[in-house]
Structure 1
Amino acid sequence: MALPFLPYIVVGITHLVAILTGADTVVAVTKPLLMPALLLALLLSLPSRRGETVVLASLGILFGWLGDLSLMDLGPGFVVGLAFFLLGHVAYIVLFVRRMRSRRLPRWWSAAYVPWFAGLLAVLAPHAGALLVPLALYGLALAVLGITGSACSPWIASGAALFVVSDSLLGLDRFLPGFALPQVDLAIMLTYIAAQGLICWGVVRQARATAVVPSLA
């Protein structure tokens, strides 16, 4: 089951090394390949390419890909990228609630996403300007992603948490004056690549486990 994920891992590592070494051309080439490689892994690994699970998971990945392209130098820009990532989060939230839950309620620790959302919004609000409302909506969706993901498998819960970390770093880097985390681009992409990969891996594992149960009945 892990073999289809190998191209995603290779492209991801190559992209991160390119960021670390300042190989901008390699960064520009590998970034658009990340989500297609992950989508390929998803489609090759799922027991069925039909149904709600594959549609919603594919949408989460595809909107992530469009968001990646939008944030590149020649892309349409930050706001468009934000919209695509928001749509991807919504697709994942619906997937988690409808198909991926391993327990009825989110885990207790997911309550931490509420003060995280309030704190991040309070920090960024004075500098967001006209983007305050879109940022607030995006942050709310991100908090819901983390909370709903916590009710799923540890793989999905970890991926959702890393998505929160990645997007928080991106927001702080874009909007907070004086924010200077060393290698912030590397940190953003490392957590983003891990987040998408863990969510996809968790979806595949649960879908395969669910498919096995009826065959044993």
Structure 2
Amino acid sequence: MALPFLPYIVVGIVHLIAVLAGADALVALTKPLLMPALLLALLLALPVRRGETALLAGLGILFGWLGDLSLMDVGPGFVIGLAFFLLGHLAYIVLFWRRLRVRRPRWWSAVYVLWYAGLLAVLAPHAGGMLVPLALYGLTLAVLGITASACSPWIATGAALFVVSDSLLGLDRFLPGFALTQADAAIMLTYILAQGIICWGVVRRARAVARVPSLA
């Protein structure tokens, strides 16, 4: 039983319910708790809490937490949040390639190149001064997806959900007329799943390498 992940699951469910209900105070309370709960799960579940895997995965989660605290509407807060998430993705990319890779990137990961080109073409006319940061961030996301495809299915799935979440965020913030019912809930659902599944995949791989019994 994956007890270390239970607090993250509970906080995530409460947060999503708050988003759906429009309970802004509860949203503001639970959002900063998500990544600390996941970091706790990571540290409790990893067989070795020191080393490159723990450091890089921890940085991915930490920068996600700083991004959560900074991300606001388009403006300085949004740019700062984007920068933190970009750093988190870079930490994950290094982790995937150096510690978790089990094969070459899969052929189907070429879809991330097409996704990047398509999303940039859609958002570029409306991005204004944010075009360069968005292009750099999108490129990093594409590399995240490609490197994750060389890892376990858990890691690959988590990275794909990250791409979905950030794509929805970009469309919601920059594309005029974009209308998705409960867009904020969809963005947070895919984000919470992305971070959680990546962390779960990291733990499973680390335990397999250390020959520690699986959590599930």
TM-score (norm 1): 0.95
In 2, Cα distance between the equivalents of 1:34 and 1:176? 28
Residue of structure 2 equivalent to 1:22? 22
In 2, Cα distance between the equivalents of 1:138 and 1:22? 29
What one-letter code is carried by the residue in structure 1 that aligns with 2:149?
S
In 1, Cα distance between the equivalents of 2:76 and 2:143? 27
Deviations 1:51-92 (A, max 9, x none): 10000000000000000000158x961000000000000000
In 2, Cα distance between the equivalents of 1:172 and 1:131? 13
In 2, Cα distance between the equivalents of 1:123 and 1:188? 19
Task: Name segments (4+ residues, structure 1) moved above 2 Å.
Answer: none
- Aligned to 1:163, what secondary structure does the other structure show? helix
In 2, Cα distance between the equivalents of 1:182 and 1:109? 30
- Aligned to 1:152, what secondary structure does the other structure show? coil
Residue of structure 1 equivalent to 2:35? 35
Pairwise CA distance, 1:37: 0.1
- Aligned to 2:68, what secondary structure does the other structure show? helix
Q: Structure 1 stretches of 5 or more lacking a match?
A: none
In 2, Cα distance between the equivalents of 1:123 and 1:202? 32
What one-letter code is carried by the residue in structure 2 that aligns with 1:109?
W
Deviations 1:117-151 (A, max 9, x none): 00000000011111111110000000000010011
Residue of structure 2 equivalent to 1:151? 150
In 2, Cα distance between the equivalents of 1:72 and 1:175? 13
In 2, Cα distance between the equivalents of 1:194 and 1:25? 22
- Aligned to 1:177, what secondary structure does the other structure show? coil
Contact residue 70 and residue 76 of structure 1 kept, 8 A = no
In 2, Cα distance between the equivalents of 1:196 and 1:151? 18
RMSD after superposition: 1.3
What one-letter code is carried by the residue in structure 1 that aligns with 2:89?
H
What one-letter code is carried by the residue in structure 1 that aligns with 2:99?
R
In 2, Cα distance between the equivalents of 1:149 and 1:13? 26
Residue of structure 2 equivalent to 1:133? 132
Residue of structure 2 equivalent to 1:89? 89
In 1, Cα distance between the equivalents of 2:10 and 2:72? 21
What one-letter code is carried by the residue in structure 1 that aligns with 2:123?
L
In 1, Cα distance between the equivalents of 2:149 and 2:201? 12
Residue of structure 1 equivalent to 2:195? 196
In 2, Cα distance between the equivalents of 1:72 and 1:17? 20
What one-letter code is carried by the residue in structure 2 that aligns with 1:171?
G
In 2, Cα distance between the equivalents of 1:57 and 1:82? 18
In 1, Cα distance between the equivalents of 2:159 and 2:196? 10
In 2, Cα distance between the equivalents of 1:100 and 1:156? 9
- Aligned to 2:105, what secondary structure does the other structure show? coil
Residue of structure 1 equivalent to 2:120? 121
Contact residue 72 and residue 78 of structure 2 kept, 8 A = no
Deviations 1:181-212 (A, max 9, x none): 11000000000000000000000000000011
Pairwise CA distance, 1:107: 1.2
In 1, Cα distance between the equivalents of 2:102 and 2:200? 15
What one-letter code is carried by the residue in structure 1 that aligns with 2:7?
P
TM-score (norm 2): 0.95
Alignment of 1:34-73 (within 5 A): 34-72=34-72
